[in-house]
Structure 1
């Protein structure tokens, strides 16, 4: 049934029947998804479902879709032969001739699947398990397996990081790199949103078609606070929603066989620092993990600044773990393919899994969720003299807090009430951090549209 929302946008009210592994849910899972009380899952389900129903949206404001479709609702009902999803006042852009678009339906089913799993397997009864490093890794494995992300096959998955707000020339470059990766039989995993998360997938689709590949994976890994601000791009064919940013980052590292970094903002810097913090640990020193920073020629100054910041804060050893290649998509893809072959040989020799990187050691300090309150942000230890891995962990948290302040509703509300986060530390380090963040703002890497109002204040 078609109609109009309060904002006069066309809407559709209908029901859909999930297919595949989502055909069945337990009564407890259905009850959790319908629970609208404090701590219930229904509001989270509604926000995530609205994000996928507006797949392809250019907004990065988590409140925009909610304001455009204030009457939208989703209910999961259990019936004798399975479950039925009721959609009320859903965005008409998710439908064609009254029927939900197949790809959108798949993403919608993934939302219900992951939140149902999260509510039971990572709920209150799992607190003890999630208090240990091994317990968290097992939880990450369980969620990825439940989402059918883990595939026993030859290593070929390239994780692509980069900003949602990038220039047209940078976006075209990400497509060119994706095309070269696809020609070499490599699949793509990104954060599932627009910009540098969409471009590599779009380029790879053409290459995969030319190579007559029919079982391609375009994996989008997100988390509830991010997906509301960054709707999945339409190319994602495997979506998984991890419980928080730390488990999302661990998922990237566990399933990816190599990582490419395109130009981006604070979220991209957070991802780089997370990975470098792990690779700088002694137990991971000998682990092959190809890491390439790349962009078009105009992005050379961007990577020079990133490289200077890393060398200043973490040292030259950190810089030795990555390679910077500018303006050469074929070289990027060839180097990544070579690196993944080395990963394959290393895991084959050690009899390690191809589809889940059990070998990389991720300590608890990298796994525990960081809640960016004003007190927590001000308490970060950003001073010299600390082990590089530990400093990287706190720098990662600083960038994570800024990401939250930019796009996550809870953090945005705190900032509106109490003012910007304060980030304190070593004066030289803070000067470099401030310069990097100012550059992100000037290059419009913080927001897709509108004037950016900083959610932070750097205190030297």
Structure 2
């Protein structure tokens, strides 16, 4: 690294540097380098800048999508072309990403992932002929992005546990996620999360200790995010494989295609969205009998949270939905043992169906779970949340409702829409609306919408219960 200097900024200390990328982008053709260079000069630049800044502020606890950009208004990133590859030029970057003038290696690797994924999606998918209008093509796009990120590992028995849960959780809940991660790690399981803080960091932290005790190397701590959420949930420092999917739908599909089982910790609307996404898929008739271990767990003081979730799911989707998940309270070892048992069933099923261990091709993901949902006020009001629909279709629209609330809470486009036009309206069958309103009120009261200590939460939604 050269040309490094530090200046005192009005709001935060910054560093400008020209760095050599590590962990990827090391062997490139001239055409590939030219495409990367072009991206920094094109309409992708704003997206690249926002995601790069999120990585450089890894560990930030703010969930305001505009706060970091306001803190570093002069930050910029450019991709520079050289015959031997590329250099990444950072101007007025957060000083916390550097030690004695040198960028922290892990942050360098995450920065490479940002450049790699954003440019690849914008330039490569169309060139290789992926049809983004059909279900098969959308699944192929998810596969191509993960393969390009070198995340898919053949010849490894199923061992990847996806952990979902909130970034805004209590200290006791966070400590519990570490205990579960520790028990999973002792049993040789790798961890995949949404890459942020809270329940996305705790399982990775626990697993690192367990993997070290077992002298296990080549561990995977995979973080999967998307551009709309990364600024509100910067990657935690344990993530050693970062993938930025182009939208929330492909992010969710990546979780279920890669994961061999899922553990859900307490969370808020984003966690509810994830739960409904997976349950909607498992409720589809084409997936009947497909093993997919799903465990809801938390410390004893969080038992009421899962009782609320369970009641809402049963009321909206029927009691049969509970066959697809298991609730384990305050017992990390039991969670790990149940997950091992469930993954063993997944392994035998994949062998029987001749499906890959590293990517679940056989799982049917309906198109309504794949098409990107843009949560406008019109789209939110048009959701058909009614009992007379097939359960997987109802789950799909419930998922969209929670996705819209996530957007209104933390995604810049959603926040701006709420500021201009007021809260989203959500309508449907009266009993579901009353249950939804009660669930969302509980999330607010438990500080699951925003980090405690911030301004009072103002709902970005209005549930029509009359």
TM-score, normalised to structure 2, is: 0.96
What are the superposed Cα offsets for residues 297-318 of structure 1, whole Å, 9 maximum, x if unpaired?
A: 0111000000000000001111
Deviation per CA, 1:355-402: give whole Å up to 9, x if none: 000010001111000000000000000111111000000000000000
Q: Report the equivalent of 1:225.
A: 228
Whether 1:77 aligns to 2:83 is no
CA distance in 2 between partners of 1:405 and 1:89 (Å)? 30
Moved more, 95-104 or 27-36: 27-36
Q: CA deviation at 1:403?
A: 0.3
Are residues 1:148 and 2:150 paired?
yes
3-state SS of paired residue (2:373): coil
**CA shift digits 1:390-449 (9 cap, x unpaired):** 000000000000000011001100100000001011111100000000000000000114
Work out the CA distance in 2 between the residues paired with 1:46 and 1:174.
32
**What is the CA-CA distance between 1:154 and the residue it aligns to?**
0.9
Q: Which aligned pairs between 1:62-101 and structure 2 lie closer than 5 A?
A: 62-101=65-104
What is the CA–CA distance in structure 1 between the aligned matches of 2:395 and 2:176, rounded to whole Å?
A: 29
Q: How does 1:371-410 map to 2 (within 5 A)?
A: 371-410=374-413
* Alpha-carbon RMSD: 1.3
- Counterparts of 2:69 and 2:201, CA distance in 1: 23
In structure 1, what is the Cα distance between the partners aligned to 2:458 and 2:125? 35
> Is the counterpart of residue 168 in structure 1 residue 168 in structure 2?
no
Whole-angstrom CA distance in 1 between matches of 2:292 and 2:225: 22
The answer to whether the aligner puts 1:106 opposite 2:139 as a matched pair is no
Q: Report the CA distance shift for 1:134/1:28 in structure 2 as closer, same or farther (over 3 A).
A: farther
8 Å CA contact 2:130–2:140 kept in 1: the answer is no
Equivalence map 1:37-436=2 (5 Å): 40-122=43-125, 129-152=131-154, 153-436=156-439
Match of 1:452 in 2: 457
d(CA) in 2 for partners of 1:268, 1:312: 18
Cα deviation, residue 121, structure 1: 2.4
- d(CA) in 1 for partners of 2:8 and 2:232? 20
Write the distance in 2 (CA, Å) between the matches of 1:384 and 1:121: 42
Q: Secondary structure at the match of 1:215?
A: coil
SS in 1 for 2:132: helix
For residues 290-339 of structure 1, the C-alpha deviation after alignment (integer angstroms, 9 at most, x for no partner) is 00000000111000000000000001111110000000000000000111
- Residue 418 of structure 2 aligns to a residue whose secondary structure is helix
Q: Is the 8 A contact 1:5 1:89 kept in 2?
A: no
In 2, Cα distance between the equivalents of 1:195 and 1:359? 32
- Contact 2:222 2:241 survives alignment (8 Å): yes
Unaligned runs of at least 5 residues, structure 2? none
Is the Cα contact below 8 Å between 1:62 and 1:407 reproduced in 2? Answer: yes
* Match of residue 29 from structure 1: 35
What is the distance in 2 between the residues matched to 1:393 and 1:197? Answer: 24
Any idea what the Cα deviations from partners look like across 1:174-224, whole Å, max 9, x if unmatched? 000000000000000000000000000000000000000011000000000
Q: Which secondary structure state, in structure 2, belongs to the residue aligned with residue 22 of structure 1?
A: coil
Q: CA 1:6 to 1:132, structure 2 compared with 1: closer, same or farther past 3 Å?
A: same
For 2:359 and 2:33, locate their aligned partners in 1 and report how far apart those are by CA, in whole Å. 31
How far the C-alpha of 1:128 sits from its partner, in A, is 7.2
Q: CA deviation at 1:64?
A: 1.1
Pairwise CA distance, 1:352:
1.1
> Tell me, which stretches of 5 or more residues in structure 1 are unaligned?
none
Quote the offset at 1:10 in angstroms: 1.3
For 1:338 and 1:32, locate their aligned partners in 2 and report how far apart those are by CA, in whole Å.
49
CA contact (8 A) 1:5 1:71 kept: no
How far, CA to CA, are the matches of 1:327 and 1:231 in structure 2? Answer: 28
Name the TM-score, length of structure 1 as normaliser.
Answer: 0.97
Q: How far apart are residue 4 of structure 1 and its match?
A: 3.5
Instruction: Give the conservation status (yes or no) of the 8 Å contact 2:383–2:401.
Output: yes
Contact persistence 1:11–1:92 (CA under 8 A): yes
